A and B are shown apart, each in its own frame.
Chain A
């Protein structure tokens, strides 16, 4: 056996003796793809997160009570969620980014919106799609786009 063969064999034995699972054991946690959402937000979670995503602060208890009352009092949950999201977006207390700022850097806005509402980056296709739509639909506002994100299916999961 040549010296080189001996070195290769020893190196292989040393590498093979490393037990990677002892080092990187993740227990029962399943590694998910970026942004993969497998849990449905509870009603309270949805309303709490919606408020925080828009206002950047925890929802005041009185506001949460109001949203909960409205939610419990109506049977068509999709309808009432839509109403609550619209009410949040229309509140005079909400300060949204201006449409001019959005249009000044559409790509950054799309990136930020995905991060804010979906906790992930947009795919290249999503980024291209949204940039194209925002540029093509000239009267599309920040409010309209936030409404789309907050009433879509993905936003109901985490």
Chain B
């Protein structure tokens, strides 16, 4: 065998070894584990929710579209609870999955940021985090994108944050082996799609295809004449094709906004609050991109710091919003019956009030003491009946907020490929 034959045969042999495996699902390759579903939506039912007002229904069932129970809302606060449209679901959400009633945020300060970081990284955050620095350990987005094979594009992973306070930096970590390269697309739609910004950004320079090519060539020439001396941090990067898709979607939504079509698309008589708006935009995004991993958060319940009745009202609105989101997922081709949704607050709230009274004479609640009540959570795992145990309640202690990351990794089949130590465990009790 001469040298050329050897190289040709060696190349052919190695190519054979690298030939992709086409899976029954149509995907090329696979992570080590098998997937239970192809989409996960994690709804951080955040802002600080006590189990007393949610699953224990201390003031009546404020979450009737999610939870079983028909107890009426306490008469002194009932007038502060806005009427929502009828549930889009035929039965409460918990009948379509497994409800963990003794979940814990078991370590770390009971603040929003620590709670979010623990939920999104699967790591304990036992120290005061530096809000100006990204967390040193990878987020679920980075684990998902890096440890699937082939590695996943950013278009498949979205972090939809309710506000720009604290949260934008949670789309990737500072870990040297992960970081922006594997981060999620982040958007704060309540800000990005506000009317003034939509008005300004909705039009693009109209480049014909020939002109676009000319402009690209000119830009390439200018860039070729410049050598940067420091690393440019562009955040996460989408491929040019995906960037076009994202831009087109943005323009569509911006035109809806400027056309007045997003003011109250759910037809709520008292209007939509910002949690519901965030969920509406999440639905628009899910409809368009059908991401494999979506995380969306809420926060309006945090009004509890000064207004207990407002907190209950926000809980009631969040309940409707989450059911609306699940209904949209189940009516989205490609997502229906192939999606698991996990709903969990990031922290609870203190047992003892802070003496600030609202108009109904109810005392407000902080989440600062780290007491048991501020660590008690619930977790609802919803999904297809062949994957997720239906209408099941797990009341035994054990589940923790750091278990969500390994659960998502297990559902999407890459849990065995993660080289980072995760202290949590997949929520096997929720699986069939």
Contact = CB atoms under 8 A, between A and B. Distances in A.
Interface of A: 37-40, 66, 69-70, 72-79, 83-84, 86-87, 89-91, 123, 126, 129, 133, 137, 139-140, 143-145, 147-149, 151-154, 156-157
B200 A79 contact: no
B195 to A, nearest CB: 11
Contacts of A129: 221
Nearest to B247: A79
Given A69-B164, A74-B187, A76-B246, A38 B234 contact: no
Interface stretch (B61-69, B224-232, B258-266, B361-369): B224-232
A154 B222 contact: yes
A114 to B, nearest CB: 10
B205 interface: yes
B191 A73 contact: yes
Contacts of B196: 66
A73 B187 contact: yes
A148 B218 contact: yes
A-B residue pairs, 5 tightest by C-beta:
A75-B186, A73-B192, A77-B235, A154-B226, A73-B188
B191 A79 contact: no
Interface stretch (B4-12, B79-87, B236-244): B236-244
A139 B207 CA distance: 11
A53 B204 CA distance: 20
Contact of A79 (B218, B219, B238): B238
B339 to A, nearest CB: 23
A129 B211 CA distance: 17
Contacts of A75: 159, 168, 171, 183-187, 235-236
A23 B100 CA distance: 77
B28 to A, nearest CB: 25
B233 A77 contact: yes
16 contacts: A70-B191, A72-B191, A73-B197, A76-B235, A77-B233, A90-B204, A133-B218, A137-B214, A140-B214, A143-B205, A144-B214, A148-B219, A149-B222, A152-B222, A152-B223, A153-B228
Most buried by B among A72, A73, A83, A86: A73
Given A40-B228, A77-B234, A83-B250, 20 more contacts: A38-B229, A66-B200, A69-B164, A73-B168, A73-B197, A74-B186, A75-B184, A75-B187, A75-B235, A76-B235, A76-B243, A79-B238, A83-B204, A86-B204, A145-B218, A153-B223, A154-B222, A156-B228, A156-B232, A157-B230
A82 B203 CA distance: 12
Given A73-B164, A77-B234, A86 B205 contact: yes
Contacts of A66: 196-197, 200
A76 B234 CA distance: 7
A66 B215 CA distance: 27
Contacts, number: 127
B193 to A, nearest CB: 9
A-side interface mostly: helix
B27 interface: no
B249 to A, nearest CB: 12
B223 to A, nearest CB: 5
Interface of B: 154, 159, 164, 168, 171, 183-189, 191-192, 194, 196-197, 200-201, 203-205, 207, 211, 214-215, 218-219, 221-223, 225-226, 228-230, 232-238, 243, 246-247, 250
A79 B205 contact: no
A20 B234 CA distance: 44
Nearest to A43: B233
A77 B171 CA distance: 13
Nearest to A75: B186
A72 B188 contact: yes
Contacts of B234: 76-78
Nearest to B250: A83
A37 B226 CA distance: 9
A123 B221 CA distance: 13
Contacts of A76: 154, 185, 234-238, 243, 246
Given A66-B196, A154-B222, A72 B214 contact: no
A88 to B, nearest CB: 9
Most buried by B among A69, A70, A156: A70
A157 B200 CA distance: 25
B426 to A, nearest CB: 28
Nearest to A62: B196
B187 A39 contact: no
A58 B247 CA distance: 29
Contacts of B218: 133, 144-145, 148
Contacts of A147: 205, 215
Nearest to B186: A75
A83 B247 CA distance: 9
